[in-house]
A and B are shown apart, each in its own frame.
Chain A
Amino acid sequence: MIKKGPFIFNFSFFFILGVFVVNGNNQAAAETGWYGEDLPEGLSKGTAYREYIHQKDHSILVYIPEGYFLRGTSETRVKALEEHFGDHFAGETPQRSIYLKAYYIDKFEVTNHQYAQFLQVVKEEGHRFCYPKEPARKNHIPTYWQDHRLNGANQPVTGVDWYDAYAYCQWAGKHLPTEAQWEKAARGLDDREFPWGNIWVAEYSNNVESTFGQSILNKKQWLHLLGYLNLDTLKVLTKPVGSFPQNVSPYGAQDMAGNVWEWCWDSYQKDYYQSSPSRDPRNESPSEYKVLRGGCWSSDRVKVRVAYRNYDLLTDRHLEIGFRCAR
């Protein structure tokens, strides 16, 4: 004869246990971040406050809450800049309030170590993460992959074109930031000039002044310094990411001024600010030129301003250009 008592006890025990397990899993799926937001798949809270870990490429991300920020530069400021530096800053006007949905952005520029993982995947799996219209027979190995001045594991990857940056972000389950996302992440809500505030301090970032140890106060000085420069004699160009602790934005993103220019998603259009939407702008007009932001080791103080808009051909690979991803 079968005793029913133990059977019913066992069944009830495992049923209740199962309910706990299922509830536990549901709670894991609905894990919340530092700001109480639901965390997307593949992202977890980091040990440091306001930081997140991305499982795929082990990058650290910071969160940018939804809301408005002030994009661009006022007309008055642009006039003052043009008087001193003789460049063109008109692309930064008009200054407007722009609304962006919440997003995450890499705390640092993508490093050579991270990019090496991507190259391994390309070697094994082919070009399945690449932009559909990338040039035929494209090789994703960066130009300076063998240059010991630039290929340190924690230095930002450089010598990559827009297609390389796009493919890396796709592989990592992220995307290139739009230029509005980039700017908000760098300056926050208070219209500041640099990630750390409004006062220029050369030693806070990797720029032409900190690289060469001299003040560059106008374009003539900058041209004279770099024009006659023998690049082969330079021992240091880019610095490992996070080398400048003061170079941090209000949201915790680092190195957004200097080190390497960073590719953005958008096509460049000088007068885009005149007509761009005020919510989540994203310039997708067909163009060979893509936006670059942030300045680099060879940039003077006006180019490392968070509002400065630069651009380059999307196929160009320069020792001054890298990227970071957003999600």
Chain B
Amino acid sequence: MIKIYRGTFCNPKVLRILKAIYLASWILIFSLTPVQADENQPSPESLKPFEEAKKTGDIPALLAVFRNAGQANNKDAVTTLLYAGLSDKILEGLSEEQTRQVLVGAQEVLAGMTDPQAWKVIYKAVSEHTNWRVRAMLLDVYKPLVPSEKRARRAIVTAITDTTDAVALKAIEMAGDLNIKEAVPKLMRVVIAKWGQNVGVGVAKATVALEKITGTTDPAGWYDWVNKNTP
């Protein structure tokens, strides 16, 4: 026989217990589900030595922290350098000249890396780092590797459409000067945009870069070049 308790088919006490179990199970599920951590967010521990050196106002001391961190020559060292040492927290408040010194120092350390896993992080940073000055500096890290390293060329091609023009213009110029053939389709997209011709300094520079690589400023010539040079 079914007993009806004030319009429900269950004893209210039992119902309350069931509700509590239901809620508790959801809380348990949420607490056990790993949160997708932002792997590029620096931990407080990794920031600490950089912050302490910055507090002293002594840029050579800050650069020494970069060199020390770089000695490990692995993925973690590079991650620390890029996302703790070159984080907004560290770079914010530095003068233009101090920022330049820090970036040049970091560039030297990064260029000295030999670990393949570390380089994976360095190449990825061109599209993942949030500070445009760091992205621009990375282009100089890739530059000497362009003739031999496909990933360096690919990273420069990626930077051609960077949202900050200071980075994009640098990549466009490098593509032309270093004769990066892989850049042609992307350079063409800079000039010939979705709705007709683009305007601005970027377009003028991309046209010159295309001329350096393909030998012409005529869009028809660029299409021909792509047909002949794409396997």
Could you tell me which A residues sit within 8 Å of B by CB distance?
A: 87-88, 90-91, 137, 139, 143-144, 146, 148, 159, 161, 222-223, 225-229, 231, 268, 270, 289, 296, 298-299, 303, 310-311, 313, 315-320
Contact = CB atoms under 8 A, between A and B. Distances in A.
Contact of B195 (A144, A231, A311): A311
B88 A229 contact: no
B132 interface: yes
Nearest to A143: B164
B208 to A, nearest CB: 4
24 contacts: A90-B196, A161-B163, A222-B204, A223-B204, A223-B217, A226-B201, A226-B205, A227-B205, A227-B208, A228-B208, A231-B169, A231-B201, A289-B194, A296-B200, A298-B201, A299-B199, A313-B163, A315-B163, A316-B165, A317-B164, A317-B165, A318-B200, A320-B165, A320-B200
Interface of B: 88, 96, 99, 130, 132, 163-166, 169, 194-197, 199-205, 207-208, 217
Given A87-B197, A225-B204, A296-B200, 11 more contacts: A90-B196, A91-B195, A159-B164, A226-B201, A227-B208, A231-B201, A298-B200, A313-B163, A316-B163, A316-B165, A319-B201
Contacts of B88: 139
Given A223-B208, A317-B163, A146 B96 contact: yes
Nearest to B173: A230
A72 to B, nearest CB: 16
Q: Secondary structure at chain A's binding surface: helix, strand, loop or mixed?
A: loop
Q: What 10 A-B pairs are tightest by C-beta distance, nearest first? A: A226-B204, A227-B208, A88-B196, A270-B195, A227-B204, A318-B165, A315-B163, A146-B96, A317-B164, A223-B204
A227 B191 CA distance: 12
Contacts of A161: 163
A175 to B, nearest CB: 23
B168 to A, nearest CB: 9
Contacts of B205: 226-227, 229
A190 B202 CA distance: 34
B177 to A, nearest CB: 12
Contacts of B196: 87-88, 90-91, 270
Nearest to A85: B197
B207 A223 contact: yes
Contact of B204 (A91, A229, A303): A229
Nearest to B205: A227
A143 B166 CA distance: 8
A49 B205 CA distance: 45
A90 B197 CA distance: 11
A289 B96 CA distance: 32
A110 to B, nearest CB: 19
Contacts of A310: 199
A253 B166 CA distance: 30
B87 to A, nearest CB: 11
Nearest to A230: B173
A227 B169 CA distance: 10
